[in-house]
Amino acid sequence: MFSRNTPDFHVISVSKPPKGMLEDIRALLQQSQLGMDDDIEQFVVACSGHHVVGCAGLVSNTIKCVAVASGWRGENLSARLLSEVENLAVQRGNFHLFLYTRPANLARFRGCGFYPLVQWDDVAVLMENTPVGISHYCRSLQRHLHHGQRIGAVVMNANPFTLGHRYLAEQAAATCDWLHVFVVSEDVSYFPFQERLEMVRQGVADLPNVTVHAGSEYLISRATFPGYFLKDAGLVNQAWSVMDLLIFRQYIAPALGITHRFIGSEPFCPVTHQYNCDMHDWLETPGRSASPPLSVIELPRKRHASGRAISASEVRALLKTQQLARIRDIVPPGTYAHLKQHYCVTAAVETTHDDSLTISPSLC
C-alpha cells in the first residue's frame, strides 16, 4: 500500500517519456476500463512515490484519458489533475477545452468546471470548460442569418475542392433561399485548412446566395474523435456521428434557421456512407432532439464522362503522380491554379523509405 503523501504532478511528453512511464499510465487506464488514444501528445501524471496514481491526457484542445487509482478516489485528485492539464493547455495557447466521457462521469466533471453540450444516451457525453462557449458561437453565426422558407447547409472537408463539391453547392443553392457552406477547420487533412477554405470560397464565389463559413471547434472531426472509453471500433464511429449531428441540430441549425442539409452520395468510403445514413436518422427523426427536425437531401455524385464519381481522394492520388491534365478535368479553375502553383513537382518529389512518392508544397 502506497503512502498518503501529497502526490507530485509531472508533465510527460508521449514522444519522449521517462522509461516505463507509458506502461504505468496504460496500466492505470486499464484499471478504469479505459484505453489510450494514439494522438495524445502530453500527459499530466500524479505520482505518489514511484506509483502513478492519476493521469490526464491532452491533444490540442481536447482532454482525454482522465483516470485516478482506486485507492485515491474521493481525494479530489480528479479536480487537481484537470486543473493541471488546463494550465498546460493554457501554456500552449488553448483556452477553450473539450472533454468526452461516459455519462456516468457527468457529475464528476461538472464539479471540475466542465459543462455538457450533447449526450447520447448512456454511451457518451461531450463537455466544454465554459458555460457560454456554444452560445457565443451561435451569436457569431447569427450575424450571417438570412431569412427564407428554405435555408440549406453543406458541410465539407474539400480536400481539395473538386467539381463534385461545386456541383453539390450549386445544386443546393439553386433550391434554397440561402445556403451556408461550412468548411471543416481541423488540420488533419492533406491540404491545410486555410488552403481548403480559400479553394471553397473561390469555387462558389459566383453563387449569389451562399455564405462560406470557416469551420469551428463545434464541427467535430472523425480523425480526432476519442475512442479511449469506447471498446468497440464501430461504436467509436457511431458516437462521433451522433455527437456531431446533435450539435448541428441543437445549436448550429437553429442559429441560422437551417431547414435542409445537403449531402453527396458516398460510393467509396463505408464510414462516410454510414455517416450519411446516421444523418437521416439523427437530423430527420423528431424524437432524437428537442430541436426541430431537418430535411436531409442526398444528391448523386457528379461523375466523369466515363461514369465514375468524382472524388477528392482521386485528385490527391493524381497529384502524387503529377497527372495535372487529368486533375484539370475534375476540379474548378481556382483549385487547379492553386495546385499548379503550390503543388507542382520539381525538386519537391521525394522518395520515401517504401519507395512511394510524397509531394511537398513547392513553387514551380
Task: Write out 63-85 in H/E/C secondary structure.
Answer: EEEEEECHHHCCCCHHHHHHHHH
pLDDT for the residue 224: 64
Three-class DSSP category at 29: helix
pLDDT classification of 356: cutoffs 50, 70, 90: very low
Asked if residue 344 has pLDDT above 90, the reply is no
Which residue type, as a one-letter code, is found at position 335?
T
Residue 323 and residue 355: Cα distance in Å, rounded? 18
Query: Facing residues of 64 across strands?
Result: 57
pLDDT classification of 81: cutoffs 50, 70, 90: very high
94 vs 225: which has the higher pLDDT: 94
Query: Facing residues of 99 across strands?
Result: 63, 127
Q: Looking at beta carbons, which pairs linking 288-292 to residues 24 or more positions away fall under 8 Å?
A: 288/246, 288/249, 289/246, 289/249, 289/250, 290/250, 291/249, 291/250, 291/253, 291/254, 292/254
Residue that the C-alpha cell 454510414 belongs to: 274
- What predicted TM-score, i.e. pTM, was given to this entire model? 0.88
Lowest mean pLDDT among 144-153, 230-239, 301-310, 342-351: 342-351
What residues contact residue 29 under an 8 Å CB cut-off, 6+ apart? Answer: 35, 36, 55, 65, 67, 228
Asked if residue 4 has pLDDT above 80, the reply is no
Q: Which of 5-9, 80-84, 233-237 has the highest mean pLDDT?
A: 80-84
What residues contact residue 297 under an 8 Å CB cut-off, 6+ apart? Answer: 152, 172, 175, 260, 261, 262, 263
The total number of residues written for the chain in this structure? 364
Asked if residue 281 has pLDDT above 90, the reply is yes
Lowest mean pLDDT among 108-112, 199-203, 206-210, 292-296: 108-112
CA distances to 126, 165, 268, 306 from 313, rounded to whole Å, are 30, 12, 10, 17
CB 160 within 8 A of CB 147: no
Radius of gyration of the chain (CA): 23
Residue 195 and residue 185: Cα distance in Å, rounded? 11
pLDDT for the residue 229: 80
pLDDT for the residue 354: 41
Give the pLDDT confidence of 263-274 residue by residue, as tens digits. Answer: 998 877 888 888
What residues contact residue 107 under an 8 Å CB cut-off, 6+ apart? Answer: none
pLDDT for the residue 283: 98
Asked if residue 178 has pLDDT above 50, the reply is yes
Strands 260-264 and 151-156: parallel
Please classify residue 213 by burial: count the beta carbons closer than 10 Å to its beta carbon, then call 0-12 exposed, 13-18 middle and 19+ buried.
buried
Lowest mean pLDDT among 192-201, 206-215, 232-241: 232-241
